[in-house]
Structure 1
Amino acid sequence: MKSTLIAALAAFSAKVSAHATFQDLWVNGVDMGATCARLPSSNSPVTDVSSKDIACNAGTKPVSGKCSVAAGSTVTVEIHQQPGDRACNTEAIGGAHYGPVQVYMSSVSDASTADGSSSSWFKIFADTWAKNPSGGSGDDDYWGTKDINTCCGRMDVKIPTDLAPGDYLLRAEALALHTAGQSGGAQFYMTCFQLTITGSGSAKPAGVSLPGAYKASDPGILVNIHAALSTYVAPGPSVYASGSTKSAGSPCIGCASTCTAGSGPSSTAGAGATLPTKVATTTAAQPSSTSGAGAGCSVEMYGQCGGSGFTGCGTCGSGTCKKLNEYYSQCS
């Protein structure tokens, strides 16, 4: 009976289509739009881990733009189901596409010409999996993709402080495991961004090859998340020592919780666009007169509206204020 139920869940998930693509980058809260993104031609996944597409996605090519980022600063990758749609009223990657979110970098001589399939990649960030003690299966557990949905498609990623200056590719990856119980069923969604890192560091971390680092039989790739999970190990190498992780199920922080999509350029990378100077605005509107739930204030969708120690506005302009944990409630 249990195996029949698991098979039915897998079959149902296979029919749910909610593809996605990383399409925008923020640098310290400034919306760079697609200035330095190698945008995929579609929002379909890569499923063959031995293909060169696993590096920077299918059909992508280098673009002329580069985003300048200081080592130690924060970038925010942004993913949505449809290219150009940055709204928060739909899940960024829906259809129960649960799995880890990981970010890699690669030092290259010129980010506007480098071939990602021949690069050496080191992992700088991971938001993977955490057990939900109240859940019965992996579907109920906490996942990186659930976090990115909660945060309107955004995930904050710190660039390691000790990196040597120069050109790099940054590769953001979301892995959907809803059909990963069969070989070739895991779905990879990724975009490469072209960066120029500034600073005084000297580290050039050792990396792995993509393709090469992933195997179709890896336990983090070939896995049935419709059954109960006692552990989950994401594919690829460990996070670089100066990198960072986010605990799956933890609240949105930084730009992922406060930045408003659409404050940057609308032009695509490589089209001669000028880098934006407009600083991101906040989604959690502050009270017009008093703190707390004072008259005249409202919080937009996915903004913070409560939690222990929170003194901001508690009235949702869209949705209702829902408690995620003792310290964080949000409008959803």
Structure 2
Amino acid sequence: MSNNLACNGPPNPTQPSAKIIDVTAGSNVTAVWRHTLTSGANDVMDAGHKGPVMAYMRKVADAPKDTGVGGGWFKIMEQGYNSKTGIWATDTVINNAGKQVITIPDCLEDGQYLLRAEMIALHGARSVNGAQLYMECAQINVTGGKGAQTPTTYSIPGIYKSNDPGLLINIYPMKGEYTIPALV
């Protein structure tokens, strides 16, 4: 997997920004998923994009300059498939006007972080490299954290393998439980 997996990359990278968003530990932030980077507010992601949503963070020294490539990433939320209701996490996001609500853990130490929202579309995942991974990063400054925990961290790229059961799966029809891609 490529370095673009960290915070998106060519051919359609987000625009660099000097802006850092202040976030209080324990509060919610919202990632907004649209069909394209230039879509309007009513153009949410495609309903055919069934799959999980996750969020990761990485503590950094200078958020506007950090590319996100490499170690230090830790997962703060994940939602997958509810086998009782047949609802995917992406369905929930779509039904919420494209909004993915993410709680920033209150146990983190204060400082600058990259916040990485991710959505995986599994409609083509029945073959290796058929899953579509979408991600974007926000530059945030966390305050009010307890600093009580230091999470285990991982590298991006490197958190997934192309044959991970959460990335290599035929969801038509979806049978049984879904395994969200594991951190390796």
TM-score, normalised on structure 2?
Answer: 0.91
Higher relative contact order (CA 8 A, sep 6+): 2
Report the Cα offset of residue 115 of structure 1.
2.3
Aligned to 1:67: 21
Identify if the C-alpha distance between structure 1 residues 199 and 217 changes in structure 2 by more than 3 Å, giving closer, same or farther. same
1:120 corresponds to 2:65: no
Q: How does 1:17-28 map to 2 (within 5 A)?
A: none
Residue 102 of structure 2 aligns with an amino acid whose one-letter code is: V
| Cα displacement (A) at 1:206 | 1.8
Q: 1:76 aligns with which of 30, 34, 55?
A: 30
- Quote the sequence identity (%): 37
Q: Compute the displacement of 1:125 (Å).
A: 1.1
2:49 is matched with which residue? 97
Alignment gaps of 5+ in structure 2? none
- Deviations 1:15-59, CA, capped at 9 Å, x for gaps: xxxxxxxxxxxxxxxxxxxxxxxxxxxxxxxxxxx1011111113
- Larger proportion of strand: 2
Aligned in 2, Cα 1:99/1:228: closer, same or farther, shift over 3 Å? closer
User: Does the CA-based 8 Å contact 1:129-1:232 persist in structure 2?
Assistant: yes
CA shift, 1:96, in A, is: 1.0
Q: For residue 56 of structure 1, what is the aligned residue in structure 2?
A: 7
Give the 3-state SS of the residue equivalent to 2:183 in structure 1.
Answer: coil
- Work out whether 1:207 is the aligned partner of 2:148: no
Deviation at 1:165, TM superposition (A): 0.3
Whether the 8 Å CA contact 2:60–2:112 is kept in 1: the answer is yes
Cα shift readout 1:82-106 (whole Å, capped 9, x = no counterpart): 3233433x5x221511000111001
- Aligned residue pairs, count: 180
Equivalence map 1:1-332=2 (5 Å): 50-59=1-10, 60=13, 62-88=16-42, 90=43, 92-132=44-84, 141-202=86-147, 203-237=149-183
- The answer for the alignment partner of 1:244 in structure 2 is none
Larger Rg: 1
Q: Is the 8 A contact 1:107 1:204 kept in 2?
A: no
Distance across 2 between alignment mates of 1:106 and 1:236: 17
Runs of 4+ residues over 6 Å off in structure 1? none
- Which amino acid counterpart does residue 69 of structure 1 have in structure 2? V
The answer to whether the Cα contact below 8 Å between 1:110 and 1:167 also exists between their aligned partners in 2 is yes
**CA distance 1:200–1:176, shift in 2 (3 Å):** closer
Q: CA RMSD in A?
A: 1.7
Kindly state the Cα deviation for residue 192 of structure 1 after the two structures are TM-superposed: 0.5
| Structure 2: distance between partners of 1:132 and 1:184 | 28
Take 2:180 and 2:28, find their aligned partners in 1: how far apart are those partners? 23
Aligned to 2:115, the other structure's residue is in SS state strand
Amino acid at match of 1:176: A
Offset from partner CA, 1:150-188 (integer Å, 9 cap, x none): 000002111001110001000000100000000110001
The letter of the residue matching 1:219 is P
2:117 & 2:41 partners in 1: Cα distance? 20
> Offset of 1:62 from its aligned partner?
4.2
Contact 1:62 1:114 in 2 (8 A): no
Q: In 1, are the aligned partners of 2:164 and 2:182 still within 8 Å (CA)?
A: no
Gaps of 5+ in 1: 1-49, 134-140, 239-332
